[in-house]
Amino acid sequence: MKIAVRLVWYFAFFWVIVLCLGTFLQYFDFKNDSHFLQIKQAAVKTGWYLPAFYFHIIGSSIILLAGFFQFSKKVYNNKALHKALGKLYVFGVLFFAAPGAYVMTLFINRGNWVFASFFLQNTLWVGFTLSAWLLIKNGKVTDHVKMMRRSYSLAFAAVTLRLYIWLFTVFGNGVGFENNYIIIAFISWVPNLLLVEVINYYDKGMVPSTT
């Protein structure tokens, strides 16, 4: 079981690194000439979209890495490091990634269901993250761990979203096919959250299980 958990951990870490490195290489020159921003020119011209976009991708890249290492026993047992990364994660979500995502959601042009999915995901993300911070401030460690797992499952949706877009493009009709993006929007985060609920239910120790 431990070997399986470790393999999943390394697999997830690989995709976190791929996403963060890809984001850095593609967007951090601030030239705004990527394919994604080219198809968002109408939104960019409003003056609101671009700052929100960079807030979101920079914040998300930082919190994906910071949050991921919180599931390591070595980091968890290093209280000073765990606390510092936790503060970085909460600050990044509440003041960069999530606010940027809210503004970006206003410019989604894929219909009401896709808008609803991303808006609900972001709202739950803010709620779980804020709740986790308040719980640890009140010394409720077990509830804090559960809530942070929920929060990170929604942060990790940045990875699963792109994974499903790739799968639908390679093995299906792509994101432009009718209803495909609605499906992708929901399966990018709902299964993540359901998996965490299963983990929370069965994990009585409530501590990270990776090395």
Q: Are 68 and 100 in contact (CB under 8 A)?
A: no
pLDDT over 90 percentage in the chain: 55
Q: What is the pTM of this model?
A: 0.88
For residue 121, the enclosing domain spans 2-202
Report the mean per-residue pLDDT for the chain: 87
pLDDT band at 7 (very low <50, low <70, confident <90, very high): confident
Give CA torsion, residues 18, 117, 40, 169, to 10 deg: 50
Residue 211 lies in a domain: no
pLDDT band at 43 (very low <50, low <70, confident <90, very high): confident
pLDDT band at 175 (very low <50, low <70, confident <90, very high): low
Instruction: Give the pLDDT confidence score for residue 39 in this predicted structure.
Output: 77
**Mean pLDDT over residues 50-58, rounded?**
91
Residue 183 lies in a domain: yes
Residue 207 lies in a domain: no
pLDDT band at 2 (very low <50, low <70, confident <90, very high): low
pLDDT digits (tens, 9 = 90+) for 101-137: 999 999 988 889 999 999 999 999 999 999 999 999 9
**Mean pLDDT over residues 65-74, rounded?**
90
Residue 60 lies in a domain: yes
pLDDT digits (tens, 9 = 90+) for 130-173: 999 999 999 999 999 999 999 999 999 999 998 898 888 888 76
The angle formed by the CA atoms of residues 82, 87 and 90, to the nearest 5 degrees, is 120
* Phi, psi of 43, deg, nearest 5: -70, -40
146 CB neighbour count, 10 Å cutoff: 22
Instruction: Give the pLDDT confidence score for residue 178 in this predicted structure.
Output: 62
Residue 209 lies in a domain: no
Q: Report the domain count for the chain.
A: 1
pLDDT band at 93 (very low <50, low <70, confident <90, very high): very high
Instruction: Give the pLDDT confidence score for residue 144 in this predicted structure.
Output: 95
104 CB neighbour count, 10 Å cutoff: 20
